[in-house]
Copies of this chain bind each other. A is one copy, B any other.
Amino acid sequence: MPMNLIKSFMIVAATSAAFTALGSITDRETPIPTSATDIGTSVRAVIKAQEAAWNRGDIDSYMNAYAHSGKTVFVSSDNVTRGWQTVRDRYKKKYDTREKMGLLTLSELEVTSLSGEAALVLGRWSLKRKADNPHGRFTLLFRRTPEGWRIVLDHTSTAEK
């Protein structure tokens, strides 16, 4: 796409976002940001809320970060878990005690805005537990949904023991 077309589109998108924000105040809805800076802030807030939910043992609130869709995907090792409900069930089964959940830290977040509708996050995860300290990396694809920015794909890898 020529650069001037991209610029025109960005201006139109920015103007549209401003109108959406104004509209939202009237409608008493929370505006969902579309600028790169605001996307970064929103996405980081979702991840921080997710970390806090985990650390109070609340997997259901943790799962709020994922899009409530049959297309949501969780990838690890050679496994693909498909659908929000199935991803939730996997977490509930794998982490069925507070000891197994441990203390989660999500850090080194790098957010890349891909459009007004999608963003990619690379980050590090670490679980502090009595028995061990598993850790690794994750790549998250976020999409703008009517509920806010939500994870539609999570690829998580773990350091070898």
Chain A interface residues toward B at CB < 8 A:
1-2, 5, 9, 12-13, 16-17, 20, 34, 73, 75-80, 112, 114-118, 120, 122, 124, 135-137, 139, 141, 153, 155-160
Contact = CB atoms under 8 A, between A and B. Distances in A.
Contact of A139 (B114, B136, B153): B153
Number of copies: 2
A22 B125 CA distance: 48
A158 B117 CA distance: 30
Given A1-B16, A1-B34, A157 B75 contact: yes
12 contacts: A1-B116, A2-B20, A5-B16, A9-B12, A73-B122, A77-B159, A78-B135, A78-B159, A112-B141, A139-B139, A155-B155, A157-B157
Contact of A137 (B13, B80, B116, B136): B80
Contacts of A2: 16, 20
Nearest to A115: B115
Contact of A153 (B118, B120, B156): B120
Given A115-B115, A136-B77, A141 B157 contact: no
Nearest to A110: B73
